Amino acid sequence: MADSGIMHMLRLVFALSILLACTSVVQAQERTMKSDAPGTLRVWPQIGHWQVVLFRGDKGPNDLICLLGTAVVKTPGNFSYLWGIVERNSVTGLIIDDKNKFAVSGNNISVVVDGVPIGTYPITKHHSNNVQKMIISELSNSSALRIESLFVSGGKVEFKTGEATYSESLSGAGKEINNFHDCVNELGNLIGK
């Protein structure tokens, strides 16, 4: 599910989305790219601290990815870390991308909702470069459904690695889960699944 081009794209798309969400005046602009070029296809409105993005990766016209995430942006266009839920090739996973490479150490991502441990999921994908490190834990269908359901009903979520805890209010996440499902449905319709 992870490769260097996609991870770079995830970072750029999400940082840009956060930057645009924080900008008070944005003029309507359009640049038309080659129809199968990597890039953002759709950005749903940010609700609370969560946002959904559909984009095309660099593996061809059917390499479509949905991301539901939150990030800490220290300076416009430059995030310190982002984390959330990602879907690619009909596989849902937990994703953490951090400039502090030690923060994403360990073998698992644990999920806690409202102080209750939900599960511990082995890290199945790693990617790092000289600036950031990304980890992904691919989920079974039942685990993905349980976590998505708790994003709707819960108050606070935590993703824990061996060295760090990422936490955020789930205020607005229920509506973003609906947007994430819309994104996944659109992804399937676009590639004909």
Is pTM beyond 0.95? Reply is no
Give the pLDDT confidence of 126-173 residue by residue, as tens digits: 888 878 888 999 999 999 999 999 999 999 999 999 999 999 999 999
Torsion angle (degrees, nearest 10) of CA 121, 186, 80, 60: 90
Q: Which amino acid is at 128?
A: S
Phi, psi of 73 (to 5 degrees): -105, 115
- Which residue in the block uniquely carries the two structure tokens 């900008």? 23
Query: Residue 4: pLDDT band by 50, 70, 90 thresholds?
Result: low
Name every residue whose Cβ is closer than 8 Å to that of residue 173 and which is 6 or more positions away in sequence.
47, 48, 50, 151, 152, 154, 157
pLDDT of 58 strictly over 80: no
Report the alpha-carbon distance of residue 118 to residue 165 in Å, rounded: 14
Q: What is the pLDDT of residue 23?
A: 44
Measured CA angle at 55 (ends 61, 16), to 5 deg: 145
Is the separation of the CB atoms in 139 and 93 below 8 Å? yes
Phi, psi of 13 (to 5 degrees): -65, -45
Q: What is the pLDDT of residue 39?
A: 81
Q: What is the pLDDT of residue 71?
A: 87
Q: What is the pLDDT of residue 73?
A: 78
Report the alpha-carbon distance of residue 175 to residue 52 in Å, rounded: 10
Give the pLDDT confidence of 62-80 residue by residue, as tens digits: 889 999 999 887 776 677 8
Give the pLDDT confidence of 32-50 residue by residue, as tens digits: 556 667 788 899 999 999 9
Mean pLDDT of the chain: 84
Instruction: Please count the other Cβ atoms lying within 10 Å of the Cβ belonging to residue 193.
Output: 9
Beta strands in the chain, from DSSP E residues, in sequence order: 39-43, 51-56, 64-75, 78-88, 91-98, 108-113, 116-122, 125-128, 133-138, 156-160, 165-169
Give the pLDDT confidence of 87-129 residue by residue, as tens digits: 988 999 999 999 988 899 899 999 999 999 999 999 999 888 8
CA dist list (Å): 16 to 2, 157, 186: 20, 24, 22
